[in-house]
Amino acid sequence: MIWLPKDFLLGGATAAYQAEGATQEGGKGKVAWDDFLEKQGRFTGEPASDFYHRYPLDLELSEKFGVDAIRVSIAWSRIFPNGDDEKANQEGIDFYHRLFEECRRRKVEPYVTLHHFDTPNKLHKNNDFLNQHTIDSFVRYAEFCFEEYPEVNKWITFNEIWPVSSGQYLLGKFPPGITYDFSKTFQSQHNMMVAHAKAIKSFKDKKYPGEIGIVHSLETKYPYEDKKENEHAAFLMDVLSNKFVLDATYKGYYTEEVMNAVYEILEANNGSVNITQEDLEDLEAAKDLNDFLGINYYQSNFIKAYNGPNEISHNGTGEKGTSVFRLKGVGEQMFDMNIPRNDWDWLIYPDGLRDQMIRVAKDYPNYKKIYVTENGMGYKDNFDDGYIDDTPRIDYIRKHLIACVEAIEAGVNVEGYFLWSLMDVFSWSNGYNKRYGLFYVDFETQKRFPKKSAYWWKELNEGRDLTSNETKEFE
């Protein structure tokens, strides 16, 4: 038998822009995504899951189906419409008080993120986190929220530094849509880490109640086949997307090994990064203040050495086999492996989650505790008159929870798991056909329908038994 520990938290995750909709309501300011998506013309952040109006329903479902906690994010531009306004927007402030009150009523603990991909448009247009003014404005906004919402016990500064920076400046799938700019990618990662460090320092100095942490997306990088050059490529990819931000979080500086890799990548791509003494002092002062680390984990990658031109083709449609990811002087991601993958070419590899957690605990012994803050399976659910059989998703979740149990057995302090996503939400680069939720959302009527996984989840939370293998494997 495989048992999930009794006090292991089982939560569901959402994010403001992906769930709330109501992008023009309640005095909300614009974010860069509004125009970016409009211009792309495929889908927009409307209506999303209309969480702005329907949060009581989603919290009622959470209570009913054994969801102990919910990740939500505050939309910065609901509080400060331009990001740096002198006066905060009362309607936005009140909305989150109502939301947290409803969480309390339903006994669902909110884990609240301050930045989930949605810098207010005015700051974004002025170079987003490449600009010192955005760092200062973020810290001011964070302090405002700490002061305003004492009812919140769990704070997260940033959701996923690397995907933001790479989405904006490497892949170009996030606004402003810039590609292959390694300087901006490293600089914005570093600057967001400085903003994080300043925010948690202030949180601790002013002795606000509760805990605070950060969420990183950590995909484990394995060498493709047992070759020396592939091992090095996997290491470079690991630094680029994992170790650079982990060092900043827990060491308070970048180790020589990491900086050598950073310079190697930058040299191959004619880039540079500016890390000042003052920045390093900020990182150093914050390195032991993280109460927890959130790990978002969806996939692992197998990396082959690569020195050709940069080439990324992002699969944003669910047409299996269309992904390409090759970075000059870094490596190439291999997709056609003997490992199951979803329609978006994400390799389903639960061992990678276990290995990643063990690595964090080993390399960063001051980590305190880990939550898996996102994990889940993008799937084209079949509605079938309201009977939604998402057996492959159940299998996916079960296997990743087993990976958590294995990490715990190996001595890692893992205290909870948040499924991405609580209900179906809008996906940044895929729109509305990539579903993740326990609850199916009919985006036209905004009705919710519990999927098979929701019933399984409820039973799991009550019984804590992960052994059941009645679920079928992925093809």
Q: Which residues are catalytic?
A: 160, 374
Kindly state whether residue 168 participates in binding ligand BGP, applying the rule CB under 6 A. Answer: no
d(CA 263, CA 239): 11
Positions 237 through 266 that interact with ligand BGP (CB under 6 A) = none
d(CA 62, CA 327): 41
Binds ligand BGP (CB under 6 A): choice among 189, 217, 300, 471: 217
Q: Give the x-and-dash track for 357-376 against ligand BGP (CB under 6 A).
A: -----------------x--
d(CA 447, CA 439): 9
How would you list the strands of the sheet with 301-304, edge to edge? 221-223, 301-304, 331-334, 324-327, 311-313
Residue nearest to ligand BGP (CB): 427
Q: What are the residues facing 313 on neighbouring strands?
A: 324
Contact predicate 400/460, CB 8 Å: no
Choose the stretch contacting ligand BGP; rule: CB under 6 A; options: 34-42, 192-200, 347-355, 427-435: 427-435
- Minimum Å gap between C-beta 299 and ligand BGP is 10
Positions 293 through 352 that interact with ligand BGP (CB under 6 A) = 296
d(CA 434, CA 71): 19
Choose the stretch contacting ligand BGP; rule: CB under 6 A; options: 48-56, 285-293, 395-403, 422-430: 422-430
Here the tokens at position 163 are: 């995907």
Positions 146 through 165 that interact with ligand BGP (CB under 6 A) = 159-160, 163
Q: What stretch of H or E contains 223?
A: strand 221-223
Burial classification of residue 75, based on how many CB atoms lie within 10 Å of its CB (0-12 exposed, 13-18 middle, 19 or more buried): buried
- Minimum Å gap between C-beta 462 and ligand BGP is 28
Nearer to ligand BGP, 273 or 348 (CB): 348
Nearer to ligand BGP, 21 or 378 (CB): 378
Kindly state whether residue 429 participates in binding ligand BGP, applying the rule CB under 6 A. Answer: yes
Here the tokens at position 467 are: 């052994």
CA-nearest of 425, 120, 112, 434 to 294 is 112
- Minimum Å gap between C-beta 428 and ligand BGP is 5
Q: What stretch of H or E contains 418?
A: strand 414-420
Choose the stretch contacting ligand BGP; rule: CB under 6 A; options: 42-50, 93-101, 300-308, 429-437: 429-437
- Minimum Å gap between C-beta 373 and ligand BGP is 8
Give the largest CA-CA distance in the chain: 61
411: left (phi over 0), alpha (psi -120 to 50) or beta: left
- Minimum Å gap between C-beta 260 and ligand BGP is 28
Binds ligand BGP (CB under 6 A): choice among 15, 37, 59, 283: 15
* Residue ranges that bind ligand BGP, judged by CB under 6 A: 15, 18, 159-160, 163, 217, 296, 374, 378, 420, 427-430, 434
